[in-house]
Amino acid sequence: LEPLLFGDRLCVCPSWVAAPAGRRVLTLDPGLAFGTGSHPSTALCLDWLAARDLRACSVIDYGCGSGILGLCAALLDAGAVWLVDIDPQALAASRVNAQRNQLQQRVRFLQPGALPVRPVDLLIANILLNPLLQLAPHLARLVRPGAALALSGLLAVQAEDCLAAYDPWFSMGDMTFRNEWALVQGTRRGTASAD
């Protein structure tokens, strides 16, 4: 494995490899939970995060796996970050990765039912199409009006279905593709009900 670069300021690097200078570096070794940055859907999400100004943003990494997306958001100066997963093993891996990167004081680890009531500034989810379709109303409630959403874990041929599922609540923007994978993004509208 080699350092993986995202945008002009972010790097994900295994612990046994020297990280390049001049970037925010997340040290992350392959483990039991999904997410090292090498999968195209994760890379799409990391490129998306690296291109945004996250200073003081509240962020949910929904389906966090290894915690890579939420931990990178914290590295990029996000304010409050919630790492959320239904799998206790994923949350345990996220805690280890947060400690390794000295980010444990800047993130919280939660199962979905324990999320904060107040909507956040940014939600990112790198899971699969069927859960994303089922979760659309729930995820919409977690994002404040005017805030951003990014969804991946989708094959390119599934992107339109995902856009349609989130259209009642979000103004969906451009899609981004890497190999056969896609990332869709949107901005929460303030007029639609999430119920």
Closest of 72, 78, 85 to residue 59, by C-alpha: 78
N- to C-terminal Cα separation, the chain: 44
Tokens of 150: 């990014």
Dihedral in degrees, nearest 10, Cα atoms 116, 59, 148, 85: -70
pLDDT value at position 96?
95
The parts of the chain modelled with pLDDT lower than 70 are 32-33, 191-195
Q: Which of 76, 178, 68, 168 is nearest to 126 (CA)?
A: 68
Q: What is the pTM of this model?
A: 0.94
Q: Give DSSP secondary structure letters for 148-174.
A: EEEEEEEEGGGHHHHHHHHTTTEEEEE
Cα–Cα distance, 37 to 67 (Å, whole number): 11
Residue 194 confidence (pLDDT): 43
Query: What's the burial of 148, exposed, middle or buried (CB within 10 Å: 0-12/13-18/19+)?
Result: buried
- Distance CA(143)–CA(117), nearest Å, equals 10
**pLDDT for the residue numbered 193:** 46
| Contact assessment for residue 10 and residue 23, using Cβ atoms and an 8 Å cutoff | yes
Question: Tokens 């107040």 map to which residue?
Answer: 118
- Please calculate the CA angle 19-91-151 and round it to the nearest 5 degrees: 75
pLDDT digits (tens, 9 = 90+) for 152-171: 999 999 999 999 999 999 99
Q: Which of 79, 100, 72 is nearest to 4 (CA)?
A: 72
What pLDDT does residue 32 have? Answer: 63
